[in-house]
Structures are given as structure tokens and as C-alpha cells.
Amino acid sequence: MKERKAITFNSLGEFLIPLSRPLLAIVLALTVSAVLIWAAGANPIEAYAAMLQGSFGSVAALANTGVRAAPLILGGFAVGLGFKAGLWNIGGEGQIYLGAAAAAAVGIIPLPVPAWLHLLLTVMAGFVGGVLWMLAPAYLNAYRGVNLVCTTLMLNYVAGFFVSWLLHPPSPLAETDTHFPMSPLILPSARLPILIEGTSLHAGLILAVVLGVVLHVVLRYTHFGFRTRMVGENPEAARYAGIGVTRQIFLVLLICGGLGGLAGAGEVLGLKLRLFDFFAGGVGYEGLALAMLANGNPLGIIVGSVFFGSLKAGATKMQIVTGIEASLALVIEALTVIFVVAIGFGERVRLTRQKQKKSRA
Amino acid sequence: MDMNSISGWLQASVRLAASLMLVSVGAVYTERVGVINIGMEGMMLAGALASVAASFFTGNIVIAAICAMAVGGLLAILHAYITVSRRASQLISGFAINILALGATNVGYARLFPTERARVATYPVLSPPELRAVPFFGEVIFAQPVIVWIALILPLVSAWVLYRTSWGLNIRAVGEHPHAVASVGLSVYRLKYTGVILSGVFAGLGGSALAMADLGYFAPAMTGGRAFVVLAALIVGKWNPIAVAAACMLFGAADALQLRIQTFGAVIPYQFPLMVPYLLTIAALAGLVGRTAAPKTIGKPYDPEII
């Protein structure tokens, strides 16, 4: 009887501590950033009040937060799904570019199909673009054992330059007679619908959240999800249990690439309405941070993305009020991550000690 | 292409390679002690801003270089603390430092120079005019600012230290067999910290070279992935300081080539030479261009109790 009580207490602790870790990290990050704001000559309380107002203070502010969160959610999934299988997809940035390029390519062609089908095809093109970009690193990693981190990282820059090339004449994707490299406008039939009139909140957010729920269910309740988690937790045991580890890794990586592609497609079809060069600006890397904060959990990634999105939306308002560069949002994001990993070690030690105690008992 | 445009291209190649080579000096050490430092991109960027700001306010180029190295070194201490002492993920820490540096330099730059772009003196050219008049070499080597000379000499010094001193042997050993190093009474932590801090110091100096070798100003996000080019050079150059520096030179030449294509036009699009370093690295990793072998414990945390 006594023992059972102890176990419930432990599992409650194990449930609460992963939650409290990011919260503590956020508080610490905001505290350090407050010092930076003060050092930069502004009032931290005033700055944070402006951020809060700019991110959650009105319908327009909420819409802004949503717009910023959408690509982060999908970019986070692109990394987080890999985490579940023990894989590090650092190539979110590149997959975003290629997904966006593929979506733009389909989105500017007037197809003789109904509008909903055009949109569907365009979104799917975004997924396929990401998958294709992941093909080489996925194959090399799954079948040849080549380091995934290095290949996906290197391909990010290739993707950036590739898209830049696509946007310069004589490429068919390049708009003619412009000063800046960009694609022609996405046709209205291929655009993601606006959710709230007068804001730029588009259906990409819904797509992201729905995919998050799907991903959660797949990971938790399907054979595919079970195999994925097993490969992530113990590939040797998975192989022993008859799971095709190589094939599973290959498939999971391709889906990761596709999710990254969707993040890029959403930005082009919902917000920017054109493909620009170097538009991603680090969203792929922020996705990596989010996946780490949420430990790959899709619902956690959504919550984290809303937080990062609110920082970005709020920082714009803060810049208007206090004059401090909106990039401060990046500083707060980075500090949150740094504090989480710095606190994380203590937790791991605590857990291993607990395990040792248990095994001794 | 005539002789003049070739020497002009080579001059630009050496100048553009210089900042890569400076970063590569420290990059070799951090990976040799088993710590990947993706944060070098951010350390470079922070070093660039620090040196421009220091030069702007003091007017002293030596102080500027020292400030760049100090800022890079401080960020590297943070990276070492997270990855060596805390044993957290080296990739996460590195990317977090990049995001931190990007945000902080944007905020800092806008705060320090709110109205106009600050222009500062570039690193001086030390050679006498007679030497600079020497055909070809005058232009490619002697007309270069002093920081480029330092960048050309440092990889040689670095190779000598790494392969000819006992401390260099320790550095090489700690990334391969940290427990063996610990068993002879050396501090694994101290060696690892040193390697990581060196990478930050030289990344900062590389950033300073990027901003002040010939530009004389800072621009937000000006590093544009150059530290990743260095990571590519490490793989292609197999973690040997001189081979890595040679790879940096090659990648600098590709960079200079694309600038020329942008200016004068050519059959190939200017984006293609820019892709070369990355594609070459993937080819090297896939075993198409020789074999590469990273230090054995690279990316893994060191735990004295787990062998």
C-alpha cells in the first residue's frame, strides 16, 4: 500500500516537472531580457505591457500572433516528428524554401479546375516539394548511415540559393520588370482563405493545428506511431521485434520534409502571396528550438509556437512604443531555450538517481 | 580571362577566404575536443558588431580586434558551460546562441547607431608601395590588409601546435578517448573548455575581419551563413588545420567568383558557385570524394562516470 502511494507521487512529479521547466525558463528569460531592455534605455514594464497588448490585446493582435505561429508550428513538427524517431532534421529551413517554391509554381498556373481543387493541389505541391528536398538526406541517412545533421544543414543553404536562382530571369518562376527578385502573384484560387476579415490571419493556422492533432493521434494510437517511437527509443529492440528500422527512418524523414514544405507553402499561399528569396529568415531553426522545448510532442509544439508567435507579434508593437528593435523577440526565444537546456541537466540527474533508488529497492 | 582579371579574382578570393580561415582555426580545436560549435555563426556576427563599435568609439583597431575576440570568447564560454558542464545538446545550444546573437546584434546595432551606418577604418595595409607594385603577388598578397596575413599564417601555427606539441596531442586525444585522457590525470573539462573557447575567440576575430578587412561597417545578419561554410570546410579538410584552411580558400574563391558573375555576368548563374561548398561537403560525407572520419566522440557529452 505504501509503495503504491510513492509511485503515484513520483509519476505526478514526472508529469509536473516537464511542464514547470519551460515555465521557469520563460520567467528567467523575461527577467534577463528586462535587464537588457533597461540597459537599452527603456522601461521594461512599459515594454512588456506593449508586447502583451500587441500579442493578445485585441482581435488584430491575436490574429497577428496566429499568423506568426502558423509557420512555427509546422516547422516545429518537421523537427519534432523526427525527434520521436531519434532523428535530427536540421533541414527545416531548406524544406520550407522548396515547399514554398513548389507551391508557388503550382499556385501561379491557371488550372482548369475548381478553386478548392487548385488550392488542394497547391498545398500538396508544397508537401511534395519538402519531401523531394528530403529525399537525398533521408536516403543517405537511412540506407548509408551518413550523418543527417550535416547533410540537412548543408542543404539549407543550397535551398536558399536555389530559390534565389528560381526568382531571377530567365526562370519561368521569376516576375518580370521588378526591382526585387520575386515570383508572380499567387492566383486567387490557390490562396489560403482569410479567417478574420481585415486581418492577415489565414487558414494555414487551421491546417497546422489540425495536422498537430492528426500527428498526436498517429504517434500515440497507430502502428506507424508505435514503430516510430520504438525506433526512437531503442532501435536495437525495434529491429529485434521485427520492425524495418531502415524503412521506418526513411519514411519518417520524408514526412518530416513534407511538413517543412507545408510550412513554406502556408507562408506563400496565405501571407506573402508571392515567393521571395531568403524569406524564411530562420523559421526552420526556431522550429528546432520549439521541438526541443516540447520534446517532440505535437500539442506542446503548438503551445510553444503560440508563445514564440506572441513574442514576435508583441515585439512589433513594443518597437513602436519603446523604440527598441523588434528583434528582441529573438533574444527572449534564445534565452528561453538556453535556460531550458541549462535546467534540463539537473532534472536528468534527479531522474537517474530516482531510477537507481528504485532498482536498489 | 586576362592576367589582370585573374589576379583581381585571386585577390578577392584571398580576402574573402581570410575571415573563413580565421574562424576555421578555432573550429578545428572545438571539434577536435569533441564539441560541435554551430554557434560560431552567432559568435562571428557578435564579433563583427563588437569590433566595429569598438573601433568607432576608440578609433583603435587593436582594441577593436580584442573586443571581437572577447565577445566571441564569452559566447563560447556559454556554449561550453551548456554542452560540457551541463552536457546538453550541442546543436540546440549552438542554434540558440545563433538566434541570441542575431537578435542581440540587431537590437544593439539599432541602439548604438540609430540614424546612420557607422563607418570605421579598415585593417591597414602594411607593405611598402614597392612590394605592392610587384606584378601578380603584389596584388594578391602584399596589397592585402594585415588581418589577411594573420589569417594566412595562423593555420600553419595551429597545425604546428596540434601535431607537434604535447598540448596539441592532449587536444587530439580528448575528442577520441576522453577517459584515457582523464586516466593520465589530465582535466578533460579544461581541455574541452579551452577548445570551445578558442573557437569563439577566432570566430569573433573572423567576424571582425569580415566587417573591417575592406568594408569598414557592420550590417545586420552580415555573416550570412559563413560559419556554416567553415563547418563544411572542416569536413572536406578532414579536421586538419592546413587542409581545412585550403578548403576555406577554395570556398573563398567560389564566393569571389559569384561576386564577379553578379557584376560582369556569365553563362552560369551566380548562385551556383555559392552552392559549391555545401554540395561538395555532402559529396564528401556520402563517401564520393574520399573518406572523412570525424573525431570519435564528436557531439557526445562527456560523463566521467559512464565509459
User: In which region does residue A139 sit, left (phi positive, over 0), alpha (psi from -120 to 50) or beta (all else)?
Assistant: alpha
Set of cell numbers at residue B242: 592546413
Instruction: Find the chain B residues whose C-beta atoms sit closer than 8 A to any C-beta of A.
Output: 38, 78, 81-82, 86-89, 91-93, 95-100, 102-104, 106-111, 225, 228, 231-232, 235, 269, 271-272, 274-275, 278-279, 281-282, 285-287, 294, 299
Residue among B86, B278, B285 minimizing CB distance to A146: B285
- Closest CA–CA distance from residue A323 to any residue of chain B (Å): 9
Tell me if B167 is assigned to some domain.
yes
Set of cell numbers at residue A260: 517543412
Tell me if B303 is assigned to some domain.
no
Contact between A41 and A257 (Cβ < 8 Å): no
State the SS3 of chain B.
Answer: CCHHHHHHHHHHHHHHHHHHHHHHHHHHHHHHCCCCCCCHHHHHHHHHHHHHHHHHHHCCHHHHHHHHHHHHHHHHHHHHHHHHHCCCCHHHHHHHHHHHHHHHHHHHHHHHCCCCCCCCCCCCCCCCHHHHCCCCHHHHHHCCCHHHHHHHHHHHHHHHHHHHCHHHHHHHHHHHCHHHHHHCCCCHHHHHHHHHHHHHHHHHHHHHHHHHCCCCCCCCCCCCCHHHHHHHHHHHCCCCHHHHHHHHHHHHHHHHHHHHHHHHCCCCCCHHHHHHHHHHHHHHHCCCCCCCCCCCCCCCCCCCCCC
Instruction: Write down all domains in chain A, each with its CATH number in brackets.
Output: 1-41+332-361 (no CATH), 58-323 (1.10.3470)
For residue A276, list its beta bridge partners: A182
Interface test with A, best of B85, B106, B228, B278 (most A CBs within 10 A): B278
Report how many domains make up chain B. 1
What number of other Cβ atoms are within 10 A of residue B180's Cβ? 12
The predicted structure's pLDDT at residue B168: 95
The reply to whether residue B95 touches residue A147, judged by beta carbons under 8 angstroms, is: no
Dihedral through CA B149, CA B73, CA B278, CA A140, nearest 10? 140
The reply to whether residue B99 touches residue A324, judged by beta carbons under 8 angstroms, is: no
Residue written as grid cell 595595409: B125
Cis peptide before A137 (omega within 30 of 0): no
The predicted structure's pLDDT at residue A14: 59
Enumerate helices (H) and strands (E) in chain B, giving the number of each. 13, 0
The predicted structure's pLDDT at residue B99: 94
The reply to whether residue B82 touches residue A154, judged by beta carbons under 8 angstroms, is: no
The predicted structure's pLDDT at residue A351: 56
**Chain B residues with beta carbon closer than 8 angstroms to that of A286:** 99
Query: Is it the case that residue A1 has pLDDT exceeding 60?
Result: no
The reply to whether residue A158 touches residue B285, judged by beta carbons under 8 angstroms, is: no
The predicted structure's pLDDT at residue A12: 57
The reply to whether residue A140 touches residue B285, judged by beta carbons under 8 angstroms, is: yes
pLDDT tier for residue A338 given thresholds of 50, 70 and 90: very high
Q: How many residues does chain B have?
A: 307
**Looking at residue B237, which CATH number applies to its domain?**
1.10.3470
Q: How many inter-chain contacts (A to B, CB under 8 Å) are there?
A: 135
- Closest CA–CA distance from residue A48 to any residue of chain B (Å): 16
pLDDT tier for residue A6 given thresholds of 50, 70 and 90: very low
Q: Kindly report the backbone phi and psi dihedral angles of residue A244, in degrees, each rounded to the nearest multiple of 5, phi listed first.
A: -75, 85
- Closest CA–CA distance from residue B99 to any residue of chain A (Å): 6
Tell me if B290 is assigned to some domain.
no
Nearest chain B residue to A290 by CA distance is: B92
Tell me if B301 is assigned to some domain.
no
CA distance B275 to B270: 10
pLDDT tier for residue A3 given thresholds of 50, 70 and 90: very low
The predicted structure's pLDDT at residue B1: 52
Q: pLDDT tens digits for A214-252?
A: 999 999 999 999 999 999 999 899 999 888 999 999 999
- Closest CA–CA distance from residue A156 to any residue of chain B (Å): 9
* Residue A278 CA to its chain's centroid (Å): 17
- Closest CA–CA distance from residue B106 to any residue of chain A (Å): 6
CA distance B196 to A140: 29
Contact between A29 and A335 (Cβ < 8 Å): yes
Set of cell numbers at residue A17: 516537472
CA distance A2 to A265: 55
Residue among B87, B93, B286 minimizing CB distance to A144: B286
Enumerate residue ranges in chain B where pLDDT < 70.
1-3, 289-292, 307
What number of other Cβ atoms are within 10 A of residue A103's Cβ? 31
The predicted structure's pLDDT at residue A7: 42
**Domain span at residue B13?**
7-285
The predicted structure's pLDDT at residue A352: 56
The predicted structure's pLDDT at residue A344: 66
The predicted structure's pLDDT at residue B205: 97
CA distance A213 to A206: 11
Query: Is it the case that residue A40 has pLDDT exceeding 70?
Result: yes
The reply to whether residue A331 touches residue B107, judged by beta carbons under 8 angstroms, is: yes
Percentage above 90 pLDDT, chain A: 74
Residue among B89, B102, B228 minimizing CB distance to A157: B228
Residue written as grid cell 524569406: A279
Interface test with A, best of B74, B285, B302, B303 (most A CBs within 10 A): B285
Residue among A136, A154, A168 minimizing CB distance to B232: A154
Tell me if B297 is assigned to some domain.
no
The predicted structure's pLDDT at residue B5: 79
Tell me if B2 is assigned to some domain.
no
Nearest chain B residue to A36 by CA distance is: B104
- Closest CA–CA distance from residue A285 to any residue of chain B (Å): 7
- Closest CA–CA distance from residue A159 to any residue of chain B (Å): 9
Tell me if B214 is assigned to some domain.
yes
Contact between B253 and B17 (Cβ < 8 Å): yes
Interface test with B, best of A292, A337, A349 (most B CBs within 10 A): A337
Q: pLDDT tens digits for B113-137?
A: 887 778 898 999 888 888 888 887 8
CA distance B178 to A228: 33
Tell me if B294 is assigned to some domain.
no
Q: pLDDT tens digits for A120-164?
A: 999 999 999 999 999 999 999 999 888 899 999 999 999 999 999
